Every structure is written in structure tokens, then in C-alpha cells.
């Protein structure tokens, strides 16, 4: 019985190598496309979150300014009898004893 002889066909090896290279390249291309498709969504969400954070920061700054103004007004009312009298006269329509108050209709 003759022994089996194995010979390598260089064309066959080249074809298999080329097919493997094409398959690997195709897989990388598909993964790259999927990565681009799915990576844009988190970027957009992150940008929206950053915009929301900036909006909230500006709101906080506005509220802090309003709080400071209100605190200053409270301190003014506590320290000054003039401020209390002004509020009583203008906002509540009050008067001192013996004063006559004329209230004009608002248009």
C-alpha cells in the first residue's frame, strides 16, 4: 500500500486566507456601523442632560438672588418702623389715629 502524500496547494491557501481576511474585515465594518449608530444616542442624551443642568444652575442663581432680596427686605422691615408703616399704609390701607384716608378707585 502506498503511503498518502499530502501536498499544499498555494492557490487554495491564498483563497482561504483571502476569505478569512474578508470575513474579519466585514465583521469589523458591521461592528463599526453598529457602534456609530448606538453611540450617538448616549451623546445626545448627555448633551440634553448638560443643557438641563445649565438651565437648573441658572434657575438656582436666580432663586438665590431673589432670596437675598427678600432677606434684605425682611431685615429692613425688622429694623425700620418706616418700612412697617409704609407697608401698613400702601398694602393694607391702614392709617394713624386721627388721619383721614382718601382712597381713589383704580382704573
- Taking only the tens place, the pLDDT of each residue in 33-62 is 888 777 766 667 888 899 999 999 999 999
In a domain, 34, yes or no: yes
* In a domain? residue 18: yes
Examine residue 5 and state whether it is found in any structural domain, yes or no.
no
In a domain, residue 49? The reply is yes
**Is residue 7 one of the residues assigned to a domain?**
no
The domain tally of the chain equals: 1
Look at residue 3 in the predicted model and tell me its pLDDT: 56
pTM above 0.85, yes or no: no
Note whether residue 104 is domain-resident: no
Residue 37 lies in domain: 12-90
In whole angstroms, give the CA distance from residue 76 to residue 81.
Answer: 9
Amino acid at each position: 500500500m502506498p503511503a498518502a502524500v499530502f501536498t499544499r496547494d498555494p492557490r487554495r491557501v491564498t483563497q482561504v486566507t483571502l476569505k478569512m481576511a474578508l470575513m474579519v474585515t466585514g465583521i469589523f465594518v458591521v461592528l463599526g456601523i453598529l457602534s456609530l449608530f448606538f453611540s450617538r444616542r448616549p451623546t445626545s442624551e448627555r448633551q440634553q442632560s448638560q443643557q438641563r443642568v445649565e438651565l437648573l444652575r441658572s434657575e438656582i442663581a436666580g432663586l438665590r438672588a431673589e432670596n437675598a432680596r427678600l432677606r434684605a427686605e425682611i431685615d429692613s422691615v425688622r429694623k425700620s418702623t418706616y418700612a412697617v408703616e409704609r407697608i401698613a399704609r400702601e398694602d393694607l390701607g391702614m392709617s394713624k389715629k386721627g388721619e383721614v384716608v382718601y382712597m381713589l378707585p383704580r382704573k
